[in-house]
């Protein structure tokens, strides 16, 4: 069990922030499958702040990314940036639940700060994992965000920038001293990007270095991976990213394993019904064109590992609308 702020996570099981993936529809599916916390796609603090100044903005994409519905809490909205003042202002706007493009029913339960994104477009601005190279600035950002919101502030870091500068323990101490309420540590360096080879020792070192709860992250694809992550590192819970894509039931599987039980996956037919409901929700929120385009990768992941998946995946990619997607999926499920 994890407690931070006034949030309790009975199983310590979190869906990771996933740009282009962890939208509301997917977060809801993961919650229904047993995740007890989720994190939004990353939101640019500066973009959110600038959109407030734009007179003609009627529908803000950034605002939509930051919006939270009541039935998906507890969840965090993740922000990224490198300027303490923009990060603080974004946290203030999100906490007040009042910004252009806001369709939130409620503010999020927490604000998460991205200090792990390895993408050049982000690190080139000194944001995401680039902050691992400047713990003092990272600390000022966390302090500024903590001051700007009454919500708990969580921080997601990596092991370090590269193998010669592993400093997650220092970063974790800075985060705790600056007021962070929980940490997630992805046990890879920025240099590793998403290559195999998660350093669980670094996660164990971070856990030993701080008193706030720590989530271990990296390469959890099965319940056995989750249990061994907890056992080997002492982490308080796990955050799952790619292992949940097309397989939100991994959260049920881990819950069962934590209770010493085995989990029986739903039938293919049941799984595809859930997948199609997720697609309908994406379309409702984003419109048919964007919803269908974004749903294709999810449906392809749901097909993974099932006989005939390759041919079905290419049909999915060529489909022109929801009706066609549904037909393809139903035919595949009936096989
Ligand atoms: C498609 C994709 C998008 C991601 N987007 C984010 C993001 O917005 N914010 C973030 O902190 N991490 C992001 N990550 C990193 C994941 O949250 C996670 O730390 C990483 O994938 C390692 O976990 P895994 O091995 O379980 O996939 C992303 C990863 C992927 C694959």
When mean pLDDT is compared across 56-65, 140-149, 207-216, the lowest value belongs to 56-65
Tokens representing residue 58 in the block: 């009627």
pLDDT band for 108, please (50, 70, 90 cuts): very high
Determine whether 33 is an active site residue. no
> Which own/partner contact pairs does 133-138 have at CB distance under 8 Å and 24+ positions apart?
133/161, 133/165, 135/167, 135/170, 135/171, 135/174, 136/174, 137/82, 137/84, 138/171, 138/174, 138/175, 138/178
Our answer on whether the CB atom of 18 is closer than 6 Å to any ligand 1 atom is yes
Mean pLDDT computed over 220-245: 98
Our answer on whether the CB atom of 212 is closer than 6 Å to any ligand 1 atom is no
Cα(241) to centroid(ligand 1), Å = 6
Q: What percent of the chain has pLDDT over 90?
A: 92
Cα(54) to centroid(ligand 1), Å = 30
CA distance 317 to 292: 10
pLDDT for 86 equals 98
pLDDT tens figures, 51-75? 888 766 556 788 889 999 999 999 9
pLDDT for 58 equals 57
pLDDT for 269 equals 93
Our answer on whether the CB atom of 39 is closer than 6 Å to any ligand 1 atom is no
Which among 241, 205, 238, 210 has a CA at the least distance from the CA of 224?
Answer: 238
Please indicate, yes or no, whether the overall pTM of this predicted structure exceeds 0.95: yes
Tokens representing residue 6 in the block: 């006034």
CATH of region 2-258, choose from 3.20.20.70, 3.60.70.12, 3.40.630.20, 3.50.50.60: 3.20.20.70
Cα(133) to centroid(ligand 1), Å = 19
Residue bearing the CA closest to ligand 1, atom 4: 18
Which ligand 1 atom lies nearest to the CA of residue 78?
9
Q: What percent of the chain has pLDDT over 70?
A: 99
- Check 30, 49, 117, 303 and give the catalytic one: 117
Our answer on whether the CB atom of 17 is closer than 6 Å to any ligand 1 atom is yes
pLDDT for 53 equals 84
pLDDT for 56 equals 62
Residue bearing the CA closest to ligand 1, atom 28: 18
Domain boundaries, the chain: 2-258, 268-334
Mean pLDDT computed over 30-55: 93
From 14, 15, 18, 119, the mutation candidate for ligand 1 (largest count of ligand atoms within 8 A of CB) is 18
Which ligand 1 atom lies nearest to the CA of residue 115?
11
pLDDT for 67 equals 92
When mean pLDDT is compared across 21-30, 106-115, 246-255, 306-315, the lowest value belongs to 306-315
């Amino acid at each position: 069990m994890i407690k931070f702020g006034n949030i309790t996570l009975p199983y310590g099981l979190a869906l990771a922030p996933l740009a282009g993936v962890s939208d509301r529809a997917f977060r809801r599916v993961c919650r229904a499958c047993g995740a007890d916390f989720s994190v939004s796609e990353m939101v640019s603090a500066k973009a959110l702040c600038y959109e407030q100044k734009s007179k003609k903005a009627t529908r803000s994409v950034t605002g939509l990314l930051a919006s939270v519905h009541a039935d998906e809490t507890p969840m965090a909205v993740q922000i990224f940036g490198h300027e303490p003042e923009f990060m603080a202002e974004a946290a203030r706007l999100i906490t007040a639940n009042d910004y252009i493009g806001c369709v939130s029913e409620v503010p999020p339960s927490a604000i998460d700060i991205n200090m792990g994104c390895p993408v050049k477009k982000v690190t080139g601005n000194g944001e995401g994992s680039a902050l691992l190279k400047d713990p003092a600035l990272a600390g000022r950002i966390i302090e500024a965000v903590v001051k700007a919101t009454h919500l708990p502030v969580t921080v997601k870091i990596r092991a370090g920038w590269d193998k010669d500068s592993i400093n997650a323990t220092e970063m974790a101490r800075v985060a705790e001293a600056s007021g962070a309420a929980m940490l997630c540590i992805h046990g890879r360096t920025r240099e590793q990007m998403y290559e195999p080879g998660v350093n669980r020792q670094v996660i164990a070192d971070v856990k030993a270095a701080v008193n706030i709860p720590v989530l271990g992250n990296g390469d959890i694809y099965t319940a056995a991976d989750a249990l061994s992550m907890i056992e080997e590192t002492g982490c308080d819970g796990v955050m799952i990213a790619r292992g949940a894509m097309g397989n939100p039931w991994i959260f049920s599987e881990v819950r069962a394993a934590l209770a010493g039980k085995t989990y029986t996956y739903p039938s293919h037919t049941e799984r595809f019904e859930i997948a199609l409901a997720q697609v309908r929700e994406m379309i409702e929120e984003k419109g048919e064109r964007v919803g269908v385009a974004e749903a294709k990768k999810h449906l392809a992941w749901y097909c993974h590992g099932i006989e005939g998946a390759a041919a079905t995946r290419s049909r999915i990619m060529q489909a022109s609308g929801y009706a066609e997607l549904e037909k393809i999926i139903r035919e595949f499920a009936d096989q």
